[in-house]
């Protein structure tokens, strides 16, 4: 869920010419919370938070009713509870969300093979080749929203534009449960009404720097000489924001025929300097990746840590695992080690992410360690099965680490002699 500021002025009609706007961005609304409401319709209209219930984890998702109190993803559960003490807190069920995500993606795959899954709850489509069969991009966007609601039961917002960047901005301004078209000819007019914080990668620190130079909206940013932006923000960040302010985005929709990796990442619109909080975010991401591996019946061979600093410098660190795994406890051992060796960048973390690669099927000849205990991971897999069958409150996930360091197991969790710890 994006916490980037939005503009009321952008939530209007920008015209109905979609002839040069073949890119559609589909973004599920408060996805984890929406899925939980399918099984708990009695909670409709109440603030709902999905995350750790012991106050030591992070928020994975929040309903719009909870967001009205300032609750946002990646926020500590302790802070979320302070802001919205009346919220209903539900544990995370990554396996279930993966299953519902697959249903959503199946709907999108009926539209076009030019489908790029960005994350568990969002995707880009290039519908250039689907016009003759299904109609205009707007017609297709309306069909997508209706079919997802009918077949899956969850709301989706749709943005339609000439580029991926503008389509994503459009979907964020269509929320919740809406559709927004930005015709190609209206791109700059649309951007001009946005605050600079609406652009990708512009957090509080960057906004403060730009504000000191009188740059608070995209219109002013677009009119600023790129060399001046490079001087005040750095070459990479200055050029990046200058291009975005003019709607420049050459990226194509890149279909992935077979998933080569599984990952998740979080962008912080206020840079994160608390290393314990960052560690909890990474641990939560690790469990998301592991649950998705198990849901897809895959194991991974490589764990990857991604970190981006306030100056847009991005660092990735990877390490091959001792043996292929689908367990969070194994992946976390490596991710935690990589993180411990990574210094906090100047100004803090702008983005953190975990990805696993080298995916293997059960029939790929995966060889276990000679001393592998077949009972290892039984609790993770049992929790998956129990939640699928009996619902949210049947079993609670283990606690996230609370900053005790990588060698201390969370309460209620057993470790295996020096192996990675589990939440």
pLDDT tens per residue, range 234-257:
888 899 899 999 999 999 998 865
Nearest to 157 by CA among 127, 177, 141, 173: 177
| Domain spanning 261-364+372-379: CATH 3.30.1490.100 | yes
Each residue's pLDDT tens digit, 306-344: 999 988 889 999 999 888 899 998 999 999 999 999 999
- Res 357 pLDDT > 50: yes
Residue bearing the bigger pLDDT, 361 or 352 = 352
Each residue's pLDDT tens digit, 71-91: 988 888 889 999 999 999 998
Alpha carbon distance 395, 387 (integer Å): 7
- Res 382 pLDDT > 80: no
Specify the fold of 18-184: Alpha-Beta Plaits (3.30.70)
Please report which confidence band the pLDDT of residue 5 belongs to, taking 50, 70 and 90 as the band edges. low
The mean per-residue pLDDT over the stretch 94-98 comes to 86
pLDDT at 268: 83
Q: Where are the domains of the chain?
A: 18-184, 195-245, 261-364+372-379
Which of 122, 243, 357, 372 is catalytic? The answer is: 122
**357 annotated active-site:** no
Q: Of all residues in the chain, what percent carry a pLDDT higher than 70?
A: 82
Each residue's pLDDT tens digit, 204-237: 888 899 999 999 999 999 999 999 999 998 888 8
- Res 260 pLDDT > 90: no
The pTM of the full predicted model, rounded to 2 decimals, is: 0.68
pLDDT at 60: 87
| Domain spanning 195-245: CATH 3.40.50.150 | no
The mean per-residue pLDDT over the stretch 44-57 comes to 82
Residue bearing the bigger pLDDT, 116 or 402 = 116
């Amino acid at each position: 869920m994006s916490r980037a500021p939005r503009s009321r002025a952008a939530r209007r009609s920008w015209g109905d010419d979609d002839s040069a706007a073949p890119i559609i961005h589909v973004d599920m609304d408060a996805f984890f919370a929406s899925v939980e409401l399918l099984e708990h319709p009695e909670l409709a209209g109440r603030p709902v938070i999905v995350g750790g219930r012991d106050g030591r984890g992070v928020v994975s998702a929040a309903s719009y009713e909870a967001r009205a109190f300032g609750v946002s993803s990646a926020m500590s559960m302790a802070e979320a509870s302070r802001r919205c003490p009346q919220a209903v807190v539900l544990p995370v069920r990554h396996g279930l969300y993966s299953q519902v995500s697959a249903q959503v993606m199946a709907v999108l795959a009926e539209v076009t093979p030019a489908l790029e899954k960005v994350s568990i709850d969002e995707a880009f489509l290039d519908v250039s080749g689907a016009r003759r069969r299904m109609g205009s991009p707007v017609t297709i966007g309306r069909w997508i929203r209706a079919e997802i609601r009918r077949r899956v039961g969850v709301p989706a917002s749709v943005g339609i534009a000439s580029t991926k960047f503008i389509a994503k901005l459009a979907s964020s301004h269509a929320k919740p449960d809406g559709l927004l078209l930005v015709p190609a000819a209206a791109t700059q007019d649309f951007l001009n009404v946005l605050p600079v914080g609406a652009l990708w990668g512009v957090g509080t620190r960057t906004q403060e720097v730009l504000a000191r130079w009188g740059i608070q909206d995209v219109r002013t940013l677009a009119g600023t000489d790129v060399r001046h932006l490079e001087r005040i923000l750095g070459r990479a960040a200055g050029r990046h924001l200058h291009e975005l302010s003019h709607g420049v985005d050459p990226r194509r929709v890149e279909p992935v025929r077979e998933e080569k990796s599984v990952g998740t990442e979080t962008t912080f619109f206020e840079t994160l300097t608390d290393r314990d909080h960052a560690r909890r975010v990474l641990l939560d991401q690790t469990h998301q990746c592991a649950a998705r591996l198990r849901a897809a019946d895959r194991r991974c061979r490589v764990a990857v840590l991604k970190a981006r600093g306030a100056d847009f410098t991005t660092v990735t660190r990877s390490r091959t695992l001792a043996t292929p795994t689908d367990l969070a406890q194994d992946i976390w051992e490596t991710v935690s080690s990589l993180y411990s060796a990574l210094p906090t960048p100047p100004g803090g973390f702008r983005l953190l992410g975990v990805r696993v690669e080298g995916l293997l099927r059960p029939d790929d000849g995966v060889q276990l360690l000679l001393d592998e205990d077949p009972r290892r991971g039984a609790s993770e897999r049992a929790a998956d099965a129990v939640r699928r069958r009996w619902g949210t409150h049947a079993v609670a996930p283990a606690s996230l680490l609370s900053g005790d360091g990588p060698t201390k197991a969370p309460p209620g969790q057993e470790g295996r002699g020096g192996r990675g710890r589990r939440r």
